[in-house]
Amino acid sequence: MNSLIRSALGSAGFLAFAILTATAAPVGKVEPVPAAKIVRSDPALDAVIAPGAKIERMATGFVFVEGPMWRKGALWFSDLRGNKMYSVSPDGKLTMLLDHAGGLQSFAAGANKGSNAMVTDKDGTVLMNQHGARRIVRLDGAMHMTTFLEKYDGKQLNSPNDLVFAADGSLWITDPPYTFFDPSNPNKDLDKDPAKQVPFNAVWRYKDGKLTPMITDLPRPNGIGFSPDGKTLYISNTEPQALLLKYDVGADGKLSNRKVIADLTKEPGIGVPDGLKVDSQGNLWASGQGGIRIFSPQGKLLGQIQLPEVAANVAWGGPDLKTAYIMGSTSVYCITLKIAGEKPMYFQP
């Protein structure tokens, strides 16, 4: 989170991004967002987002929201820098689900030590990434927490960031070193932090009790998702090059034929490649400089959703998965779609 993020946000934007603290208690309230807009780069976007569709704000007042997941009639999400986990209903009812969600009682303002992405497991429990504790935990129906994954070959993971189930039931996880980001020293080399134990920043595959590094040559793997047929893996790399990548997926998760979908390093606008999702038609929705970009399965840019703040992630919601919920730093936004998002492996509507 060094030179690229600083340049993407500008000096004033970087300061807010790095040390932002909530000035008021978070509140759920559905309201229009006149400053948000949809940029249509190709007529094919009209089949995904109807002309005239409006972006709404669902809740606001957070520090830096991330890790969204639809579950049992509400959107669950993390405040990565506020150290809390919340849910918000379609009518804007906001509920705090978990305090100290990152596994630490407290940490410096601007640090990335709260909770992040989460996913429903086959038994109905929730797997949730903790940046602070550097592990993945399981949450039962009473929100009781037990450790699920925390080490590889006896070494503590970096900061599990995003995760998704593949069609074969394997769990894929990105593990960049952003827990080591120091707001007082934003240009610090995170890979040289003495607390870092794993020598690379992996994309992991967990299957049958075994954790395997599938990608080790990306400096900052972040968002992750699969095509609807499971044959393509999508990864965002945040920095120093801001890349959206895809890989062919073979037997036992073997990856090949890496290709760059987009290099956003020099693109204008605030933000960096972070979270991503794939919709039911195979379109890739990826955060990056200037907002959420939507690419066809062939890699053609269809359009872009621009918010008045950094867009970090997106998730599908509603019982029909036809609402896109966008994590916009201090706020949660939504927009109604004409098509459904890709249904998660163990979806609980």
**Which domains does the chain possess?**
3-28+64-277 (2.120.10.30)
Of 300, 315, 305, 307, give the one whose Cα is nearest residue 43: 300
Give the mean pLDDT of 219-241.
98
Q: What is the mean pLDDT of residues 118-134?
A: 98
- pLDDT at residue 3 tops 90: no
Q: pLDDT tens digits, residue range 65-120?
A: 999 999 999 999 999 999 999 999 999 999 999 999 999 999 999 999 999 999 99
> Which band of pLDDT confidence, cut at 50, 70 and 90, is reported for residue 295?
very high
- What span, in angstroms and rounded, lies between the C-alpha atoms of 30 and 38? 19
Which pLDDT value is given to residue 14?
41
Residue 132: its pLDDT value, please? 97
- In this prediction, residue 1 has a pLDDT band, given cuts at 50, 70 and 90, of very low
Cα(16)–Cα(186) distance, integer angstroms:
12
Which whole number is the average pLDDT over 234-263? 98
| pLDDT over threshold 50, residue 20 | no
Q: Identify the pLDDT of residue 5.
A: 47
pLDDT band at 6 (very low <50, low <70, confident <90, very high): very low
Contact 59, 28 (CB under 8 A): yes
Predicted local distance difference test score (pLDDT) of residue 8: 44
- With a pLDDT cut of 90, the percent of the chain lying above it is 93
* 133-179 per-position pLDDT tens digit: 999 999 999 999 999 999 999 999 999 999 999 999 999 999 999 99
Q: pTM for the full model?
A: 0.94
Q: What is the mean pLDDT of residues 239-262?
A: 98
Q: Is the pLDDT of residue 12 over 50?
A: no
Residue 278 near residue 226 (C-beta atoms within 8 A): yes
pLDDT of the residue at 7: 39
**pLDDT for 75:** 98
pLDDT at 342: 98
- List, edge to edge, every strand of the sheet that includes 255-263: 221-226, 232-237, 243-249, 255-263
- The reported pLDDT for the residue numbered 102 is 98
Report, as an integer, the average pLDDT of 274-290.
98
Contact 221, 272 (CB under 8 A): no
pLDDT beyond 70 at 58: yes
Q: Averaged over 178-197, what is the pLDDT? A: 97
> Chain-wide mean pLDDT for the chain?
94
pLDDT interval class at 304 (50, 70, 90): very high
Q: How far apart are CA 195 and CA 131, in angstroms?
A: 13
What is the tens place of the pLDDT at every residue in 253-277? 999 999 999 999 999 999 999 999 9
Conformational region of residue 125, where left means phi above 0, alpha means psi within -120 to 50, and beta covers everything else: beta
Classified as helix, coil or strand, 128 is strand
Looking at residue 249, its pLDDT comes to 98
